[in-house]
Amino acid sequence: MKNIENVILCGAGAVGGAYAKKISEADPDCLRILARGDRKKRYQTDGLIINDQRYNFMLADPDEPDPAPADLILVAVKDYGLEAAIQEMRPFVGRETLILSLMNGITSEDRLAEAFGRHRVLYGLVMSIDGARDQNRIRFSQYGTISFGFADNTDLKEEVKAVADFFDRAGLSYNIPQNMLRELWYKFMVNVGINQASAVVRSGFGAFQRIPEAHALMRSAMWELIRITEKNGICLNETDLENWDKVLMAMPPESRPSMLNDLESGRKTEVDMLSGTVMALGRQYGVPTPVNEALYRTIKSAEILIGADPSGSQVNA
């Protein structure tokens, strides 16, 4: 497989913006940001301000004639923005294009595979990044680590090696788990806990490092998902909670999970993808999910009270 030289980023929010900065600093000519219409105009006029530095990235407009296919598309939109993103990506998906999701949740890869074919879609997630976005301003203190690959990476395929080579050249930290599906569910467990609990407690990582009640709330939501995975074959367990605690305690106390940032910025959250999914899985497998049901109702109410845009129009940044 050829080297990855032409990359499109779909979604320049907190995570996408951080990686756009890193990639462009390694090779400014390889990266384009997917944008059309008003978003394209905003990028052209205002740029992106990342850690107080302005960036004017090259743009990929799906409405322009003869779009050049990408070697790799990184997808970093919010869950409820994916269907629109898929349509915008279509002109840039060529015969050899790879697609890597950096989204939260456990369904984006299946939706991308349905649209573009399983053979080109890699599973992915990001751990320990601490970015926040306000309009066109993005701030973060650590890039975290990207875990990616196909479902089973016992024998690395050429597509995975190509992405790893690109990440090496860009200076991005990454991990290729042997069992990528379990890793994806582990990250989902983390988000079900810390993202939702932080939105309810209205505080960042520091609260969960030092307040036992906040930590217990986070864990109780996670335990409901663990009980579900005991029935679907993923089999998360208490060791996974302990491993997350090690990561949590190393996070900057002042940093905040994305759902809290979304609420306080008046944006729609991913609660449907988090507790909404847990509730549906609970019904499917006969597992009670009262904590996630309470979190769902609380966060949905908070969205209404702050007047969050129900369309999620800001989701792709």
- Given a contact cutoff of 8 angstroms between Cβ atoms, the answer to whether 76 and 16 are in contact is yes
Strand order, beta sheet including 48-50: 53-55, 48-50, 137-139, 132-134
To which CATH superfamily is domain 7-178 assigned?
NAD(P)-binding Rossmann-like Domain (3.40.50.720)
Radius of gyration of the chain (CA): 19
Name the helix (H) or strand (E) containing 237: none
CB atoms within 10 A of CB 276: 17
Residues 123 and 163: their CA atoms lie apart, in Å, by: 12
pLDDT of residue 131: 87
Nearest to 191 by CA among 73, 107, 305: 107
163's CB contacts (< 8 A; 6+ apart) are 4, 72, 98, 100, 122, 148
CATH no., domain 182-306: 1.10.1040.10
Nearest to 273 by CA among 125, 104, 132: 104
Largest CA distance in the chain: 57
* Separation in Å, CA 148 to CA 3, 125, 126: 17, 7, 9
CA 241 from centre of chain: 20
Range(s) within the chain of domains with CATH label 3.40.50.720: 7-178
Range(s) within the chain of domains with CATH label 1.10.1040.10: 182-306
Residues 121 and 31: their CA atoms lie apart, in Å, by: 19
Residues 213 and 312: their CA atoms lie apart, in Å, by: 32
pLDDT of residue 310: 57
Q: What is the pLDDT along the chain (317 residues), one digit of tens a residue?
A: 789 999 999 999 999 999 999 999 999 999 999 999 999 999 999 999 999 999 999 999 999 999 999 999 999 999 999 999 999 999 999 999 999 999 999 999 999 999 999 999 999 999 999 888 999 999 999 999 999 999 999 999 999 999 999 999 999 999 999 999 999 999 999 999 999 999 999 999 999 999 999 999 999 999 999 999 999 999 999 999 999 999 999 999 999 999 999 999 999 999 999 999 999 999 999 999 999 999 999 999 999 998 876 555 443 44
